[in-house]
Amino acid sequence: MPTKKLTKRWLYNNFLVILIFLSALIIAFSLAIRNYYYNSVLSVMKNTATVQNASLVNYSEDNTVDFSASVRKMVEDFDERDHMELMAIDKNGKVIITSSGFSPADETDMPDYTEALTSPSRDASAFDKINGESVLAYTLLAPSMDDSNLSALRYVVSLTAVKRQIYMLIAAAGVVGAAIIFFVILSSSYFINSIINPIDKVRKIALQISKGDFSAHLTKTTDDEIGELCDAINAMALELQENEKMKNDFISSVSHELRTPLTAIKGWAETLMDDSVDRETTRKGIGVIIKESERLSGMVEELLDFSRLQSGRLKLTLTKLDLVAELSDAVLMFTERARQEGIALHYDEPMDILPIMGDPNRLRQVFVNILDNAIKYSDAGDSVTILVKTGDDKAIILIQDTGIGIAPEDLPKIKTRFYKANATRRGSGIGLAVADEIVSMHGGVLSIDSREGIGTTVSITLPLSL
């Protein structure tokens, strides 16, 4: 189903990326907050240690005070003892006094003190645990004094409150991230549904159309790409509906066109089987059979040409020829027919030769088709005029008739396959489509101008080969 596929694609391509990005952002924020708080605590400890070390220097330089007693008093009266514990460490690495009054066990590990002993900056910090509580310890070595047993001052801060604050901020960031993901899912679900639902409707309509229901129609609800797709589907359905109608009309027309000569051939064949038929009637019957057979042959050839055209197998055999000669041969074929039907055929054959590269049989087929239409859609008393013009290395052939003309609504479709503007006149509706394609294959243009009740002018423009 398209819903599942689109949702999975969105999850993989968008939601997963957003989730990874937010997760990375929250992790980076957590690390930054942690470093910020720990560095802030460490900065306060370093500033405090600097002040205390300055006091140690003053005690060592004042000969009127007892240095050891001053250090003890400084530790016991440590101003920051509510937030920070101060420890005095002797040169044996043992804590001799603390601001809390409680000395740690002798085996207490002090990694910061150990590192400070070897550090060029004479200080070091480390995370530690005291009685199961996480702490940050900072050690600053005391000034070198030969008569003093003091080695360093160690500052210890509990991280319980700091961690609580960090966890709260990380939790807040997680809530914000979860809210963002929630709104992304909510908005994306709405967006996906706004695409999936119309696409599902398009799918259902397309299935109806594929089953031959060309009346199926989509209601356009938006002006975006989905709306344009609905317009395209509706236009396609309408076009298919019109093509289906033209195809059915074509089948009906061809069936009628085939039935008429076959009926005539069958009727005359049955008549001629009677031995009592005189010679004149026999000659007349045979003439009708030949004429109708030629008509059937022409229709079959027209259908074959259309089939070749549809499959791309319609090929030209190009040779250099005189366009006037081919046109004159076609006109000659319709001279007697026009006379019999009371239609005046006007053609002044040009004296000049118009050389072109073309297929003589296919060009004659075009002229025959156009002339046949001109006479077919004209009545007794009308006229057909053939003119030949040249200009810009092109030959222009105009075939004008004063027949019934073509309605304005039919004119744009007149070269469409299967289309017949007038169902009362014989014809399959594909001859003009084949003629237009043949002219196009010669690099030319076939255009039609017509006014209903006045007549039609067909213009055939072909490039000259000079």
Summarize pLDDT for 97-106 with one digit per residue, the tens.
888 877 666 5
pLDDT tens, position by position, 17-26: 888 888 999 9
- The CATH superfamily assigned to 316-463 is Histidine kinase-like ATPase, C-terminal domain (3.30.565.10)
69 pLDDT tier (thresholds 50, 70, 90): confident
Is the pLDDT at 107 greater than 70, yes or no? no
Average pLDDT over residues 30-55: 92
Tokens 């001799």, located at residue: 96
More confident residue, 125 or 430: 125
Domain range list for the chain? 2-166, 225-310, 316-463
Average pLDDT over residues 62-88: 85
CB 395 within 8 A of CB 461: yes
Q: Do domains 225-310 and 316-463 have the same CATH topology?
A: no
Torsion sign over Cα 162, 167, 173, 175: negative
Lowest-confidence pick of 122-126, 231-235, 244-248: 244-248
Q: How many CB atoms lie within 10 A of CB 41?
A: 21
DSSP 357: E
Tokens 């306060």, located at residue: 44
Determine the topology of domain 2-166 in CATH. Beta-Lactamase (3.30.450)
Is the pLDDT at 390 greater than 60, yes or no? yes
Among 102, 124, 121, 103, smallest CA distance to 113 is for 124
CB 67 within 8 A of CB 88: no
Q: pTM value? A: 0.48
Q: Please give the C-alpha separations between residue 23 and each of 176, 189, 389, 409, in angstroms, as whole numbers.
A: 11, 21, 79, 64
Is the pLDDT at 1 greater than 50, yes or no? no
CB 322 within 8 A of CB 353: yes
Is the pLDDT at 93 greater than 80, yes or no? yes
DSSP 90: E
Helices 360-376, 323-340: crossing angle, 10 deg rounding: 30
pLDDT tens, position by position, 195-204: 777 777 888 8
Computed over every residue of the chain, the mean pLDDT equals 83
Determine the topology of domain 225-310 in CATH. Helix Hairpins (1.10.287)
Q: How many CB atoms lie within 10 A of CB 315?
A: 10
Amino acid at 408: P
pLDDT tens, position by position, 310-324: 666 677 888 999 999
Q: What are the residues facing 358 on neighbouring strands?
A: 319
pLDDT tens, position by position, 126-141: 998 887 788 999 999 9
